[in-house]
Amino acid sequence: MAAYKINSVDEMQYMVVTLFVVVFSLFFIYILMANSKDRAETQHGVLG
């Protein structure tokens, strides 16, 4: 990744935006999964 030459500022911005979107998506999915898991455990009365 460090050896990759960035041709222009636009390409760098595109890489940064793409990376941000991927990280945000993974974080969002993680939060959704955690919330649904907590809700399911609470509904069944299983805590911990």
Spatial contact of 15 and 9, defined as CB atoms under 8 Å apart = no
The first and second tokens of residue 13, run together, are 């911005």
pLDDT number for residue 12: 87
Q: What are phi and psi of 5, to 5 degrees?
A: -90, 125
| CA atoms of 29 and 24, how far apart (whole Å) | 9
- CA–CA dist 30, 23 (Å, integer): 11
Predicted local confidence at residue 19, as pLDDT: 96
Q: What is residue 1's three-state secondary structure?
A: coil
Read off the tokens for 18. 């793409």
- pLDDT reported for residue 45: 59
Query: pTM of the full predicted structure?
Result: 0.52
Per-position pLDDT tens, the chain of length 48:
566 666 788 888 999 999 999 999 999 999 999 888 776 666 665 554
